[in-house]
Amino acid sequence: MWLKRFKTQLFPFIFLLGFITQSSSLYAQRFQFKGKRTKETLSFKMVKNLMIIPLTINGKGPYNFILDTGVGLFIVSDTTLIDDLDIQNRRSIKIMGFGSGVDLSAYVTPSIEVKIGNSVAKNLPAALLKKDIFELSSFVGMPIHGLVGFDFFDSFTVRINYLSNTITFYKPEAAYIPRKGQRIPITIEERKPYITSNLTLSNGEKILAKLILDTGAGHPISLETQDGIPFPLPTKHIPANLGVGLTGQIRGFIGRISSIKLGKYELNNVIAAFPNYDDVAAKVTSLSRNGNIGNTILKRFIVVFDYHRQCIYLKPAYQLTEPFEHDMSGLEITSAGDDYNRIFITRVEKNSPAAKLGLETDDEIISINFKSVSEMSIEEIDKLFRSKDERSFILSIVPKGTKEVSRVILTLERRI
């Protein structure tokens, strides 16, 4: 069975959508509450550090979408929805994105109706990918149909509580100021939120970095470019597949930086991604920026996004001081099957604990400590593999091309 490799994070991307830039009136379409409602609370699922919310499109659904501040346009990634939604007013364009592949084709439409909770946007521009490059359903172990970002966050003041897995969104006319939260200014550029942050790199260098606040990224921080050149790699680092952009794989390395400071809050010994310059930074031509901040940092706070006043509020949660950990197994996995209840290995990192056991791409994991993976979520498995240095698990494996079950003892190793 051949499986495509899936990388572990989402990155923001750039769209060449001429029909939108030529018609600024399309930007005015927003989500609005019906009647006199002024706020609403909606639950989300948190899987692999991605927030998943239900919504409907043209009265159909509900569909599962990732809530992603790094996305400037509403994106339908599940190709089966192209026919299901029966969108007539559409045409093909080429999309340029981050990654090492070639550009993709997509349909664009100037007007669909999207409903989130009791809010609705009646004429929302959207892109419908002709190829599901993200393969998000396999990554998170449940059906995922697309991504929604700027249009929602620009319509409301949005409070994200990662502890209760809820978002509360308010009409933007009145400011929402959380108790004991610190206000931090942001800018909105090309439909994405930016923050400046003080970083201390592993070599002790201190810089002021301009970073996207990206709820569609599962990593803590990604550092793309410093003054037009790649960031220096920490002495201790490992190669990694960092994500997938619209045009393919994003390669690079994982290491640590000494600290990042958001307002008065300082986080130490932070896991950082260092993407290949050619895959990401070389394709960013319109803005001066250094990288992005993902949910692994944001979830340590209760966060309020207020695009209209160009600020966020951060209120610390109990996870604020928890240590940052990366995968300690050397395995990248994906889910398969009609119910996403089968787990396959998609990549084995060289010199990792998994590689030393001889595990290979396309091997199937049947059980962990004699518990069937069909009874576990991919999120649960991911947490196990980053849980504790020197922790051991008994894996039942069906090697690629065989039907025989073998057992190995995988001992985790903190590699960075």
Banded model confidence at residue 100, pLDDT cuts 50, 70, 90: very low
- Average of pLDDT values for 127-133? 86
Which of 206 and 288 is assigned the larger pLDDT?
206
Range 412-415, long-range pairs (CB < 8 A, 24+ positions):
412/328, 412/329, 412/353, 412/385, 412/386, 412/387, 412/388, 413/328, 413/352, 413/353, 413/389, 414/325, 414/326, 414/328, 414/389, 415/238, 415/326, 415/328, 415/330, 415/352
Mean pLDDT of the chain: 87
**pLDDT tens per residue across span 217-251:** 989 999 998 888 889 999 999 988 877 655 456 78
- Average of pLDDT values for 191-216? 96
**Contact status, residue 68 vs residue 218, Cβ threshold 8 Å:** no
DSSP 294-341: -HHHHTTEEEEEETTTTEEEEEE-GGGGPPP---SS-EEEEEESTTS-
The answer, yes or no, to whether residue 279 has pLDDT greater than 80, is no
Report which of 182, 124, 131, 122 is spatially closest to residue 150, judged by C-alpha positions.
124
Banded model confidence at residue 20, pLDDT cuts 50, 70, 90: very low
Q: Give the start-to-end residue ranges of the domains of the chain.
A: 18-170, 182-321, 331-411
The answer, yes or no, to whether residue 281 has pLDDT greater than 70, is no
Q: Can you tell me the distance from the alpha carbon of 158 to that of 172, in angstroms, rounded to the nearest whole number? A: 9
Phi-psi region of 228 (alpha: psi -120 to 50; beta: other; left: phi over 0): left
**pLDDT tens per residue across span 291-342:** 999 999 999 999 999 999 999 999 999 889 899 999 999 999 999 988 899 9
Report which of 274, 228, 225, 281 is spatially closest to residue 251, judged by C-alpha positions.
274
Coil, strand or helix: which one is 167? Answer: strand
pLDDT at 142: 92
The answer, yes or no, to whether residue 64 has pLDDT greater than 90, is yes
pTM given for the model:
0.88
- Average of pLDDT values for 162-172? 95
**206 - beta bridge partners?**
200
pLDDT at 24: 38
Q: Which two tokens stand for residue 150?
A: 């700027």
The amino acid at residue 401 is G
pLDDT at 285: 54
Q: Can you tell me the distance from the alpha carbon of 267 to that of 36, in angstroms, rounded to the nearest whole number? A: 41
pLDDT at 103: 60
The answer, yes or no, to whether residue 105 has pLDDT greater than 60, is yes
Residue 293 backbone dihedrals phi, psi, to 5 degrees: -110, 130
18-170 to CATH, choices 3.90.930.12, 1.20.140.160, 2.60.40.10, 2.40.70.10: 2.40.70.10
Report which of 110, 96, 95, 188 is spatially closest to residue 149, judged by C-alpha positions.
188
Banded model confidence at residue 21, pLDDT cuts 50, 70, 90: very low
pLDDT at 18: 40
pLDDT at 102: 52
Q: Name, of 93-102, 258-267, 338-347, the range with top average pLDDT.
A: 258-267
Q: How far is CA 342 from CA 57, 142, 338, in A?
A: 30, 12, 9
CATH fourth-level superfamily of 331-411: PDZ domain (2.30.42.10)
Q: Which two tokens stand for residue 249?
A: 């794989």
**29 - beta bridge partners?**
none
pLDDT at 282: 53
207 burial class (0-12, 13-18, 19+ CB within 10 angstroms)? middle
What proportion of the chain, given as a percentage, has pLDDT over 90? 68
Q: Identical fold at 18-170 and 182-321? A: yes
- Average of pLDDT values for 64-77? 94
pLDDT at 274: 94
CATH architecture of the domain with range 182-321: Beta Barrel (2.40)
Q: How far is CA 1 from CA 4, 147, 345, 361, in A?
A: 10, 29, 12, 11
pLDDT at 131: 83
Q: How far is CA 234 from CA 82, 212, 231, 271, in A?
A: 44, 22, 9, 11
- Average of pLDDT values for 257-275? 96
